[in-house]
A and B are shown apart, each in its own frame.
Chain A
């Protein structure tokens, strides 16, 4: 509902702008068409299937220790899933590390279920004909924070350090094309082709973007996690491959989460 309203407002703003620019009339109607498409999609989100599968996996006895994840501490205490995603990434004393949701799930799969870290990290993202537990677990846990305000902490020195490293990574330009995150996400009101780009240094945009990941991607038929989002951005940035749950990925996630502070979490969402 709130999304539909936001889309409506954006649509009106877009239409006003279009009317004031010559040559932009057709672009305005194309953008309106895209918004209409998004609104239509929001009615039925296949991410629900991942959420249900994830809840089953959370409770299922798996791994060498034949244990479930029901005692996993996601930051609010063992077994507390409700609202846990709103405070991630955060510092965990037991690992002495800042962990995001995906890395924390890996930790629990290792400590509670007895998987090796390699096994727990082996299939981070689903693909055609391949459904992986990680996507489903991420969908389930995040869905339990829907409608709740996001707030990550920078109180611990390691959280502050990760935030600051994440910020530097955001502005780090390199590779064959001199791209950094900031190339596409550092200014207001920009597009690539017809795709609107959120300015992730602007709180309003950062909140809207961060609170709608993970998302079911219609074009891919998969629920995509924040780890996937960053991985694929760096691919297009012409960087080498960002390793799953790597320190840089977690630092960058914390930076983005902090910029989105106060957002009402609204995912798993649905995107083109």
Chain B
């Protein structure tokens, strides 16, 4: 599959190079060309090294998605399967402390070159989601999670789903906009449990 895709890209590049300049045809630069350009245009700073530009297979496949080129069902299935294999659930209760979860949801720092790497990262959930109703300043890139647990039931299965979704959302929906907080080491196990509690604890303001 990879080799076939690469072959097609190489052929496209070759065809693009052999045609004359002002052709209307759209040439798609190869992944190698784009990666090389990026490597020559960025410099390592703070905790963000040039390795941040190296894509894993999922990032590479998701970068090919366009309005006129939606994710093919077989590729989506392949991604979900590979990402599901990364899921790791800690033993015992997955329900942490919703008050800590709320702080994590409010905090946007972490992993930027301007951030202190010794300081824990936030989840920045409010940047994209509505959660507790007292917070009016929420984004809309992701769905509203207001009353998440109240609407779905406070079951252990739902706690496990939320833990997995925060750990690696692409294990459920390929090419999600949401970071893989657990898989990429952005949030710790305890932090993810706290976020689970923010959504799943009956006493959390999210469920009021």
Contacts and interface: CB of A to CB of B under 8 A. Distances in A.
Interface of A: 23, 26-27, 30, 155-157, 160-161, 164-165, 168-169, 171-180, 183-184, 187, 189-195, 197, 201, 234-236, 238-243, 246-249, 251
27 contacts: A26-B136, A157-B21, A164-B26, A165-B29, A168-B34, A168-B63, A172-B34, A175-B52, A176-B111, A176-B179, A176-B184, A176-B185, A178-B184, A183-B177, A192-B128, A192-B141, A193-B126, A193-B138, A234-B42, A235-B112, A239-B52, A242-B42, A246-B41, A247-B40, A248-B38, A248-B40, A251-B37
B34 A165 contact: yes
B82 to A, nearest CB: 14
Nearest to B54: A174
B41 A248 contact: yes
Nearest to B26: A164
B137 interface: yes
Contacts of B116: none
Nearest to A29: B136
Most buried by B among A176, A194, A247: A176
A241 B63 contact: no
Contact of A177 (B53, B126, B137, B184): B184
Per DSSP, chain B at the interface is loop
B113 interface: yes
B153 interface: no
Contact of A178 (B37, B50, B179): B179
Contact of B53 (A164, A174, A194): A174
B62 interface: yes
B4 interface: no
Contact of B33 (A156, A165, A173): A165
Contact of A180 (B43, B63, B146): B63
B41 A247 contact: yes
Contacts of A180: 63
